Amino acid sequence: MADAVELIVNGARRRVLVQGDTPLLYVLRNDLELNGAKFGCGLGQCGACTVIVDGEAVRSCSFPVALAQGKKVTTIEGLGTIDKLHPVQKAFIDEQAAQCGYCINGMVMSATALLQRKPTASDGEVRAALAGNLCRCGTHARILRAVARAGKEMAQ
Amino acid sequence: MTGPTISRRRFGQAVGALTIAFSLAPPSWAQAAKLPGSLDKNRMLDGWLRINPDGTVTVFTGKIELGQGILTALEQIAADELDVVQPRITMVSGDTAQTPDEGFTSGSQSIEYSGTALRYACAEARQILLELALERFGLAGKTLNFEMAVIDGTIWVGSPDRTVTYWELSGEAQLHREATAKASPKPPEALKLIGTSKPRLDIPAKVTGGVAYIQDMRLPGMLFGRILRPPSYTTQLLSFDEGRVKQMPGVVAVVRDGRFLGIVAEREEQAIAARDALRDAARWSDEQSLPPADNIYRYLKDLPAEDHVVSEKGAGPAPSARAVHDATYTRPYTAHASIGPSCALAQMKDGALTVWTHSQGVFPLRRDLAKALALDESRIRCIHKEGSGCYGHNGADDVALDAALLARAVGERPVKVQWMRGDEFGWEPFGPAMTVSLHAALDERGMIVDWTHDVWTNTHSTRPGQKDGVNLLAAWHLAQPIAPGKPEIIPQPAGGGDRNAVPLYDFPRQRVTHHFIPEMPIRVSALRALGGYANIFAIESFMDELAALAKVDPVEFRLRHLDDPRAFAVIQAAAKHAGWQPNLPGRTGRGRGIGFAKYKNLSAYVAVVVDAEVDRRSGAVRVTTATAAIDAGQVVNPNGLINQTEGGIIQATSWTLKERVGFDRGGIISRDWQGYPILTFPEVPVVSVTVLDRPTEKSLGAGEAAQGPTAAAIANAVAHATGARLRDLPLAPERVKAAAFG
């Protein structure tokens, strides 16, 4: 019943044996042991599970793994590490832009997808790009500051 | 040289032995002096910290990280009092096998209780180590003509050739003794870390995909569990055919006990698929047992209530008044709505249960798990692991019992259970619905001379660990159910439903009555700020209404009724930073309002000024800016305090503008983010927070302090913008439109 699916995750070729309709989220979290993408709603409503597939921010909780076959999947682990942070990750630390942080994966990934396209995105464009990413702690103000800071860094 | 050293050591040992003997004698406990903070109930020094020979310090706290940054702040406190650098410290929190029992991490009390305990415990440990250092150099008991210093755990005993480290002394340091609190924590001018914005310890892992949450835990052989709840509180399971579900791929166990149904599978998506199939395999009774949604406040008020007068001032007949005013405010059932559904891991081994949980209280949870599972408490260990932010009592405790029930059914393999989105929204205990009625009289000078406050509400805490019953959801659904505990009142001065019902304003005559409704037609418990949110919303809205009657500017009107200089200072600071202009003309579609409170009347002071715009066509309110001032006494980590306050303001803006739990007679119907929308990025205000630091005052709980003032500030801004007074939460567009634009 299981299908062999080939993915390119954070630059590495990975092969998993799962049913093709399995949401990408569970493959990333449980098969590849990547913690970044989070289960929030399973309905594509909250954004906690966001990853980047071929440059687009997608909701991995409702994205069948078969659709990612052969595509480039980037998770937050693929952006940078604690020793070598991506500008967006660094900006979130510099701005202390987290409370519980459960949503932060989605914030970082959605913001990265936007800034890779348009590092000079305005406050309004950032807000619009993050409109589908929910935060319950109310860290929005810091997240906006972090994205603006990262944008400046990436524009250079 | 040798002789005296030995004798001093012997003396030291004898003193240590005496201390222990003393602490074990019952009369000493009975007469034990009250110790500061949580030290009072957890009196052994080594219950709080250990100095290790390898150059590290282990610090224990019963308080846990909820995303509020508490572990960072407590580590700063320990490092500062001990004079060691933070990287030497390992924080151990919320583990029934290791840490002090500090009850729940709730009510903005961690700095006040755990922080205070750690300050005294660490100061005393430092003192003990300094005395040992003197002993080592034969200086004990002698008059010293030099100062001792500690630099990162190295003690300088007056000269560069007389140094000894904590780590060298760790074997001699008798920390297994009762604290005395006689070593004073450092005065403000000697502090190096307390009062500084140290970066949070947990954020780097959270932005790089490290193991940060219980959801990220993996144990060898771990299975995945999911629960299928009944459609509503009272529905009964009529029939159930597990045959097909058992055959599904990966399914290890189908667990049924009464109307508790669970699935265990090898893979997570298999557990979810099996749960869906289970739903199709179960037939439930049709129950229409919830109260009517459109008349909920009347319904609750008609239930039997215990009336408690919690404050009364001024006797005799009501004074003569120039004007009297009455108003009633309501707050709907409100969800915690954590972004990550609740999760737990459990493992049964050799008759002992280990539960990893994001409960706010591992010790009270263990008490209820023991009762629900008929296991001795000594056979259960609960270990805290961080979860998604909870803002009070959500599904965290419930899912711990779910995981334990499933783990018990599969032998020794650990089981991780995470609720689905609909489980969390459908079954979490909500913040209770409330009605607040206020009455006031104004004299000729425009001063309030009479005030009554009546609040009707359920209990605001049904957390686990009560004396009677079990407050864990699955226990109520078992074939042999265990009833929940009897609903309890949280007494004043903190209060529960009546939190902040007693006005901080100085009125000559007042009467505050808490109408406590024991019966709970909808499951409720603690939500950030408890009754303080609605009581402050009501009081601070009413103050604006009275200010208008008295024809006095709202800021000025508040100040005239206050005699607390710190209250004065935060109101003036918020007004100043917001550029408050007295008597600004209103009804322009844009408005500004203020709200103020001293949380619980004993924690932080907060004032918030809000600017809002009201859309004429839709009635939608947009809060554009929020400017706040907070006085939380001595601040441990200013950035952390600002983060909590910003977050509180934004979350309260969401509650105030958008949130209410949807239900009908058949059950809870707001089961996802479409049914329960919260504030999104395009709607979020620009927030700025000013901290009034008071290093010589004690630290005050702050995490929940902004909720009530924000709600009132928004309602006051809407009234200023439109002339319409909205008294029912949330200030939803259709309500604003009807009230303001007819």
State phi, psi for B607 to the nearest 5 degrees.
-125, 140
Cis peptide before A119 (omega within 30 of 0): no
What 3-state DSSP class applies to B600? helix
Please give, rounded to a whole number of angstroms, the shortest distance from the CA of A77 to a CA of chain B. Answer: 5
Check CB contact under 8 Å for B269 and A22: yes
Q: Please, which residues 34-53 of chain A have a Cβ atom closer than 8 Å to chain B? A: 34-36, 38-43, 45-46, 48
Q: What share of chain B is helix, strand, coil (3-state, %, to 5)?
A: 35, 20, 45
Joined together, the tokens standing for residue B454 give 């009546």
Other residues' Cβ atoms within 10 Å of the Cβ of residue B298 = 11
β strands within B482-620, DSSP E: 510-516, 590-598, 605-614
What 3-state DSSP class applies to B12? helix
Whether A64 and chain B come into contact, CB under 8 Å, resolves to no
Cβ-nearest to B339 among A46, A93, A130: A46
Contacts B267 to A, Cβ<8 Å: 18, 26, 30
Please give, rounded to a whole number of angstroms, the shortest distance from the CA of B478 to a CA of chain A. Answer: 27
Check CB contact under 8 Å for B339 and A23: no
Question: Residue B511: which of B314, B306, B301 has the closest Cα?
Answer: B314
Pick the CATH number of B2-194 from 1.10.1060.10, 3.30.365.10, 3.40.50.10490, 3.40.190.10: 3.30.365.10
> What gap in Å lies between CA B156 and CA B163, rounded to an integer?
5
Q: Which of B203, B207, B676, B707 best probes binding to A when mutated, by most A CB atoms within 10 angstroms?
A: B207
Whether A122 and chain B come into contact, CB under 8 Å, resolves to no
Q: Are A60 and A51 in contact (CB under 8 A)?
A: yes
Question: Residue B531: which of B596, B608, B455 has the closest Cα?
Answer: B455
Joined together, the tokens standing for residue B536 give 């402050």
> What gap in Å lies between CA A61 and CA A74, rounded to an integer?
15
Q: Which of A49, A102, A130, A145 best probes binding to B when mutated, by most B CB atoms within 10 angstroms?
A: A102
Domain B2-194 shares a fold with domain B215-286+336-427:
yes
Q: Does domain B434-460+495-741 have CATH number 3.40.440.10?
A: no
What 3-state DSSP class applies to A2? coil
User: pLDDT at residue A22 above 90?
Assistant: yes
For B389, which residue in chain A has the nearest alpha carbon? A100
Residue for token digits 């037939």?
A: B283
Contacts A137 to B, Cβ<8 Å: 67, 389, 647, 651
User: pLDDT at residue A114 above 90?
Assistant: yes
State phi, psi for B435 to the nearest 5 degrees.
-125, 135
The reported pLDDT for the residue numbered B142 is 87
Q: Which of A17, A19, A73, A96 best probes binding to B when mutated, by most B CB atoms within 10 angstroms?
A: A96
The reported pLDDT for the residue numbered A1 is 63
Residue for token digits 């032995």?
A: B17
Q: Are B130 and B77 in contact (CB under 8 A)?
A: no
Question: Residue B255: which of B266, B267, B242 has the closest Cα?
Answer: B242
For A138, which residue in chain B has the nearest alpha carbon? B647
Q: Which amino acid is at A133?
A: N
The CATH fold of domain B215-286+336-427: Aldehyde Oxidoreductase; domain 4 (3.30.365)
Joined together, the tokens standing for residue B527 give 């939500």
Joined together, the tokens standing for residue B110 give 């961690």
Q: How many CA atoms lie within 13 A of B293 on its CB side?
A: 13
What 3-state DSSP class applies to B664? strand
Q: Are B456 and B438 in contact (CB under 8 A)?
A: no
Q: Please, which residues 637-656 of chain B have a Cβ atom closer than 8 Å to chain A? A: 639, 643-644, 646-651, 653-654
Whether B675 and chain A come into contact, CB under 8 Å, resolves to no
Q: How many CA atoms lie within 13 A of B487 on its CB side?
A: 21
Q: Are B256 and B249 in contact (CB under 8 A)?
A: no
List the helix and strand counts (H, then E) for chain A: 6, 5
Question: Residue B234: which of B596, B522, B649, B41 has the closest Cα?
Answer: B522
User: What structural domains and CATH numbers belong to chain A?
Assistant: 3-78 (3.10.20.30), 80-155 (1.10.150.120)
pTM: 0.95
Residue for token digits 């940078």?
A: A80
Contacts A42 to B, Cβ<8 Å: 272, 420-421
Check CB contact under 8 Å for B208 and A77: yes
CB pairs under 8 A between A and B: 173
Compute CA B680 distance to the chain's CA centroid, rounded to the nearest angstrom. 23
The residue extents of the domains of chain B are 2-194, 215-286+336-427, 434-460+495-741
Joined together, the tokens standing for residue B495 give 């209060």
Cβ-nearest to A76 among B208, B267, B654: B208
Whether B283 and chain A come into contact, CB under 8 Å, resolves to no
What is the per-residue burial (b if ≥16 Cβ within 10 Å, else e) of B539-548? bbbbbbbbbb
Give the CA distances from residue B234 to residues B152, B191, B231, B326, B520, in Å, rounded to whole numbers and listed in that order.
Answer: 60, 56, 8, 39, 13
Contacts A36 to B, Cβ<8 Å: 208-209
Q: Please, which residues 262-281 of chain B have a Cβ atom closer than 8 Å to chain A? A: 267-269, 272
The reported pLDDT for the residue numbered B8 is 34
Residue for token digits 């290791």?
A: B98
The reported pLDDT for the residue numbered B318 is 83
What average pLDDT does this structure show over A35-41? Answer: 98
Contacts A135 to B, Cβ<8 Å: 339
Contacts B269 to A, Cβ<8 Å: 18-19, 22-23, 26
Which residues neighbour A151 within 8 Å (Cβ) at sequence distance 6 or greater? A115, A119, A120, A121, A126
Which residues neighbour B6 within 8 Å (Cβ) at sequence distance 6 or greater? none
Pairing verdict, β B148-151 and B89-93? unpaired
The reported pLDDT for the residue numbered B20 is 28
Q: How many CA atoms lie within 13 A of B389 on its CB side?
A: 29
Q: Which of B219, B266, B651, B681 best probes binding to A when mutated, by most A CB atoms within 10 angstroms?
A: B681
β strands within B599-729, DSSP E: 605-614, 621-631, 663-664, 667-668, 686-691
Check CB contact under 8 Å for B268 and A29: yes
What 3-state DSSP class applies to B276? helix
Q: Which of A73, A137, A143 best probes binding to B when mutated, by most B CB atoms within 10 angstroms?
A: A137
Joined together, the tokens standing for residue B338 give 């954590």
> What gap in Å lies between CA B556 and CA B251, rounded to an integer?
67
Check CB contact under 8 Å for B421 and A34: no
Whether B389 and chain A come into contact, CB under 8 Å, resolves to yes
The reported pLDDT for the residue numbered B315 is 81
Which residues of chain B carry a pLDDT beneath 50? 1-29
* Rounded (10°) CA dihedral B502, B504, B509, B511: -10
